[in-house]
Amino acid sequence: MSLALIRTQPYTDWSPEVSPETRATLRRELEQGAVLYFPDLAFRFQPGEERFLDPRYSDGKSKNINLRANDKAVRGAAGTAQDLADLYNLIHRYATSSESLIHALFPEYAGHMTRAGTSLRPSEIAGRPVSWRKDDTRLHVDSFPSNPMLGKRLLRVFHNIDREAPRVWRVGEPFGDFATRFVPKTHGMWPGQAWLMKTLHITKRERSEYDHRMLQLHDLAKADLEYQKTVPQQEFHFPPGATWIVFSDQLLHAAMRGKAMMEQTIYLDPAAIGDRTHSPEAVLSRMLGKPMLAA
Ligand code: SIN
Ligand code: FE
């Protein structure tokens, strides 16, 4: 079965000129849960930056080197002051490029987006010893235990910055089908649970029912090995130099192999979505018969 989830785009520039008709098509496809794939949208190293393809600049505790929006220094890195300054410049440039790409393709999102984290992930992903819950080689939708989204969408711009290795993903069935299968196995929160988790600093803010259900969907999918094997899915190799954009809270995805990647996360206000039919919050609201977004 072909899911045809990967939509190839011709652009070679991080601020491409795109006609309004094409923009409308891209937006519709992205919001339906497709992967917008830019095989020739390269992110260029400045002289000397190739050294950061080597995982030795990770501090050993975290696999990724992260830059939070508005921070002036990266986290999770080890090196000289010059290394850390150069890493900041590299990762910050990726954040700026990703944001200009989204602005060029989806000007309607511009006033509704918040820059979140940017990361450089310089370590091989295959064969890592992680718990099943953290195992991103299993199909999942992104949902974070400690960081409730309250219905905000997760828009991500990925780039394979490695010189040789493709980044190998699996992508799976539409969110609506996934939800139909697993939402009946999820449950709501206990009275006081959201308050308690925030008070105990398990979550950064009070978790909403939306986040609670999304997290269970993430876990139910990863825990179900039969589902992992049998769900309609497609493997795709993102070659070196390729860029791709997805709503990672909507697209079932798994990262199987790959060496060095950059990634930008953007939080998007759900009000900016043109057609919310396929949005996780809309799908869950319909299935559960109550709104998932605070009024
Ligand atoms: C993920 O978002 O699950 C991981 C993506 C990747 O590392 O390629
Ligand atoms: Fe993920």
Q: Model confidence over 5-60: pLDDT tens digits?
A: 999 999 999 999 999 999 999 999 999 999 999 999 999 999 999 999 999 999 88
Q: Tell how far the Cα of 132 is from the centroid of ligand 2, in angstroms.
A: 13
Q: Which residue, chain included where needed, has tokens 């900016």?
A: 272
pLDDT at position 62 is 81
> Which ligand approaches the C-alpha of residue 265 most closely?
1
Contacts for 228 with CB less than 8 Å, ≥ 6 apart? 138, 139, 221, 222, 254
> Which ligand approaches the C-alpha of residue 161 most closely?
1
Report whether residue 255 contacts ligand 1, using a CB cutoff of 6 Å.
Answer: yes
pLDDT at position 295 is 56
Q: What is the model's pTM?
A: 0.96
pLDDT above 70 (res 1): no
Count of Cβ atoms closer than 10 Å to residue 273 Cβ: 21
DSSP at 80 = -
pLDDT above 80 (res 196): yes
Q: How far apart are CA 75 and CA 288, in angstroms?
A: 39
Contact call for residues 152 and 269 (beta carbons, < 8 A) = yes
Q: Tell how far the Cα of 156 is from the centroid of ligand 2, in angstroms.
A: 10
Q: How distant is the alpha carbon of residue 33 from its chain centre?
A: 12
Which atom belonging to ligand 1 lies closest to the Cα atom of 167?
A: 8
Instruction: Please state the rounded mean pLDDT for residues 201-226.
Output: 96
pLDDT above 80 (res 294): no
Q: At what angle do helices 20-32 and 81-105 cross, to 10 degrees?
A: 110
In tens, the pLDDT along 61-99 reads: 888 999 999 999 999 999 999 999 999 999 999 999 999
pLDDT above 60 (res 246): yes
